[in-house]
Amino acid sequence: DGGITQSPKYLFRKEGQNVTLSCEQNLNHDAMYWYRQDPGQGLRLIYYSQIVNDFQKGDIAEGYSVSREKKESFPLTVTSAQKNPTAFYLCASSITGVGANVLTFGAGSRLTVL
Amino acid sequence: GDSVVQTEGQVLPSEGDSLIVNCSYETTQYPSLFWYVQYPGEGPQLHLKAMKANDKGRNKGFEAMYRKETTSFHLEKDSVQESDSAVYFCALSGSSGSARQLTFGSGTQLTVLP
């Protein structure tokens, strides 16, 4: 079955360390997204990419970086510059054009900074 | 900018009770409206949608009417079940239909008591 795989499911990090969250999709979707979920705050867009080798900042991109070298993969790096990195991170994908506003999400990665 | 407001952070109906989860929105565009549901341990998934005013989205006994005059998209169900327990997010998408323009509400935790 097609879907989105995020790994790891749980991750612990010491302050000052960078960590990379993996996101792989086999839906043949062109567009991919990273969201951050905090209790009581809904979903906030970090970065998105509509095509390979191109990506744009979302609403809360500071302290994060991404790459899109392959259509199937969109890894997110949480850098030491991110002031409050403990959160639940969700990767999503969609088609482009008509229907682009319907997202398919992965199961998420929970990052805890110790 | 666009905004989505869900007034209840948590609702605790008993099995068999009726349910209304409020969602109000603000936008200058002609949005599409969505409800996403997030079951424990999973990422959000599309629950129902309405593309234009007076459309009604339906899924698994849930309904939501796109009401332009009151800028609302309340989620309703006549009789909830324990299996409906989840977090529900209301969202709107701007006229372009791009997921980049998706704005999510803060979410409502539905816990159905036995």
Under 8 Å between Cβ of B55 and B73: no
Asked if A107 lies within 8 A of B42 by C-beta distance, the reply is yes
- Distance, CA of B14 to CA of B25 (rounded, Å): 28
Mean pLDDT score, B5-20: 96
Under 8 Å between Cβ of B38 and B46: no
In the structure, what pLDDT confidence band is assigned to residue B73 with cuts at 50, 70 and 90?
very high
- Distance, CA of B55 to CA of B40 (rounded, Å): 29
**In B, which residues are within 8 Å of A56 by CB distance?**
100
- Distance, CA of A64 to CA of A83 (rounded, Å): 10
Under 8 Å between Cβ of B102 and A90: no
Chain B's closest residue to A5, CA to CA, is B43
Mean pLDDT score, B82-87: 97
pLDDT surpasses 90 at B101: no
Mean pLDDT score, B42-52: 95
pLDDT in tens, chain A (114 residues): 779 999 999 999 998 899 999 999 999 999 999 999 998 888 999 999 999 999 999 999 999 999 999 999 999 999 988 889 999 999 999 998 877 788 999 999 999 998
- Sequence-distant (6+) residues with CB within 8 A of A27 are A2, A3, A4, A93, A104
| Position B23, amino acid | C
With vertex at residue B9, the alpha carbon angle to CA B90 and CA A82, rounded to the nearest 5 degrees, is 80
Q: Which two structure tokens, joined as six digits, stand for A102?
A: 């319907």
Chain B's closest residue to A56, CA to CA, is B100
A-to-B residue pairs, Cβ atoms closer than 8 angstroms: 62
- What's the pLDDT score for residue B83? 96
Chain A's closest residue to B99, CA to CA, is A101
Q: Which two structure tokens, joined as six digits, stand for B20?
A: 């209304």
pLDDT surpasses 90 at B23: yes
- Distance, CA of A72 to CA of A49 (rounded, Å): 11
Output the average pLDDT for chain B: 93
**In A, which residues are within 8 Å of B35 by CB distance?**
none
Asked if B99 lies within 8 A of A101 by C-beta distance, the reply is yes
- Distance, CA of A70 to CA of A105 (rounded, Å): 18
**In B, which residues are within 8 Å of A106 by CB distance?**
43
In the structure, what pLDDT confidence band is assigned to residue B97 with cuts at 50, 70 and 90?
low
Cα torsion angle, B49, A99, A66, A12, sign? positive
- What's the pLDDT score for residue B88? 97
